[in-house]
Structure 1
């Protein structure tokens, strides 16, 4: 009889060890046209968790309202994989340093979640990491309007989520939202958070 491996006491590692449902912008919009495979661009976002057990918080940003793509939206630090990046994990860490001033050596990578395909043609790898030492948040000029944190317990509770819809490209598009105070977290960010919440709920 094969011995069972002991379960980890880290809830984030335990979450990644559980099977999860596929995540994409098409979960609630099966009739939407998907981008051609050759046009999909790889990207990485960092789900940066900081704080003691039971009081962890997740770092998020409000994008500048002047940006061409997704102006004013709530997002994880992250972006597309550049030629100099060694994959989506490196891209997520680089973007976190540029967007919120989070040093790469302050982050312990816990693991990654399955890729999330967006309607804008990105294949996003969510990278889960723990911030192991304090840092001074610094917003990237012109890119980030605000840096803030949300309790992990809020994002990890499936009951906090709801589905809303709006017209987009002549059709109704449905999406998840998980509001927190004045912040309206929706779209791909909320869907990735919901995927994590599903895994953190045994």
Structure 2
């Protein structure tokens, strides 16, 4: 997918309705993540992290750089940029905001706002990054075109109490992206595909 095609579709009004993938409407604790588009010779890639295995919550799982909002954050973009700089050394001045997705409400009570931004000069993974080993075990990237293809998704339906909701899975090489991270990408994918 060309960057111009992605941007043209992304900037259209959001028409895609949320399905049962967001069964937690009462989740309100603010958080933000960065969906960072990294330009390469082969097109745009999306940067992911693997959380350090020793972490108490979600250790070893794949996520976007990001986290919960702090009291002195100046909005969700600031939260996402601050966390990305702390976790993997992406400097805010090297990022250009494209926009944001509607909050993704999680079972753990967070309303996570995905911020979509482009790294202005491109990043060599992992050479150009300063990774905080206390939080991040690995950094990798996946072609945006791969993430925009529905064939690369598997959906498993989960029953929890009276709730039934889908959990998305994406397998890329040796990585399995699932849960809220895959759900956010699926929401972005549905919006892009609706407008292309």
TM-score category, normalised to shorter length: 0.7 to 0.9
Q: 1:16 aligns with which of 1, 11, 19?
A: 11
TM-score by length of 2: 0.85
Distance in 2 (CA, whole Å) between partners of 1:127 and 1:110 is 8
Q: Which residue of the other structure, out of 126, 132, 137, is the alignment partner of 2:129?
A: 137
Rounded to whole Å, the distance in 2 between the matches of 1:184 and 1:161 is: 10
Quick one: distance in 2 between partners of 1:53 and 1:11?
16
Count, aligned residues? 188
2:144 matched to which residue of 1?
152
Q: Is the 8 A contact 2:95 2:120 kept in 1?
A: yes
Q: Which residue of 2 aligns with 1:27?
A: 20
Which structure is higher in strand share?
Answer: 2
Q: Give 1:73's match in structure 2, choosing from 53, 56, 61.
A: 61
Aligned counterpart, 1:99: 87
How far does residue 117 in structure 1 lie from its aligned partner after superposition? 0.4
Task: Report the alpha carbon displacement of residue 47 of structure 1 after superposing the two structures with TM.
Answer: 0.4
For residues 41-120 of structure 1, what are the structure 2 equivalents within 5 Å?
Answer: 41-52=29-40, 55-120=43-108
Structure 1 residues 84 and 179 mapped into 2: Cα distance closer, same or farther (>3 Å)? same
Aligned partners of 1:98 and 1:140 also within 8 Å: yes
For 1:150 and 1:92, locate their aligned partners in 2 and report how far apart those are by CA, in whole Å.
19
Q: Contact between 1:35 and 1:119, CA under 8 Å: does it hold in 2?
A: no
Identify if the C-alpha distance between structure 1 residues 121 and 15 changes in structure 2 by more than 3 Å, giving closer, same or farther: same
For structure 1, the residue ranges without an aligned partner over 5 or more in a row are: 1-7
Conserved? CA contact 1:47–1:59, under 8 Å: yes
CA-to-aligned-CA distance 1:103-151 (integer Å, 9 cap, x gap) = 1100000011111100000001110000002451122121100011111
Structure 2 CA distance, aligned partners of 1:98 and 1:29?
29
Q: Which moved more, 1:90-99 or 1:64-73?
A: 64-73
For the 8 Å contact 1:41–1:122, the answer to whether it is kept is yes
